[in-house]
């Protein structure tokens, strides 16, 4: 069965600092990996996804993530955080082909200090 672990429940960074949110997955084959962001009272917005190819994936809002098969990781990064990035971030995995069921991690809440 597929699973996702986000080790950090809550992270606080200062505005302008760099950010890395960790995600580890478990899946028997090559996974499809996603990062979503959820702001208070908002739905889920897709930041980026990895299906295949280049292991460094660029997303929206200046985010990027790197797929590392050897470490079963898909960490999300941003070089300089903005106050508007404060939100909950979810890593998710699904199988390939027509299996569109997503398994989500428990999320990481990001607080940005001015």
Partner 1 sequence: SAVISQKPSRDICQRGTSLTIQCQVDSQVTMMFWYRQQPGQSLTLIATANQGSEATYESGFVIDKFPISRPNLTFSTLTVSNMSPEDSSIYLCSVVTENEKLFFGSGTQLSVL
Is 59 near partner 1 (CB under 8 A)?
no
Is 10 near partner 1 (CB under 8 A)?
no
Tell me the number of residues near partner 1 by CB under 8 A: 15
Is 95 near partner 1 (CB under 8 A)?
no
Is 107 near partner 1 (CB under 8 A)?
yes
Is 74 near partner 1 (CB under 8 A)?
no
Q: Which of residues 32-51 bind partner 1 (CB under 8 A)?
A: 36, 41-44, 46
- The torsion angles phi and psi of 57, rounded to 5 degrees, stand at -110, 130
Is 105 near partner 1 (CB under 8 A)?
yes
Residue at token pair 């908002």: 42
Task: Mention every residue, 6+ apart, whose C-beta is less than 8 A from residue 36.
Answer: 44, 45, 46, 47, 89, 90, 91, 92, 104
For 71: left if phi > 0, alpha if psi spans -120 to 50, otherwise beta; the answer is alpha
Instruction: State the residues that interact with partner 1 by CB under 8 A.
Output: 36, 41-44, 46, 90, 100-107
């Amino acid at each position: 069965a597929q699973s996702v672990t986000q080790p950090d429940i809550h992270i606080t960074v200062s505005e302008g600092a760099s950010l890395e949110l960790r995600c580890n997955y478990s899946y028997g084959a090559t996974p499809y990996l996603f990062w979503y962001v959820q702001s208070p009272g908002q739905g889920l917005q897709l930041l980026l996804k990895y299906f295949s190819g280049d292991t460094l994936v660029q997303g929206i809002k200046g985010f990027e993530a790197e797929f590392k098969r050897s470490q079963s990781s898909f960490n999300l990064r941003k070089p300089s955080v903005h106050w508007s990035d404060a939100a909950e971030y979810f890593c998710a995995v699904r199988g390939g082909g027509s299996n569109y069921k997503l398994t989500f991690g428990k999320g990481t809440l990001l607080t940005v200090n001015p």
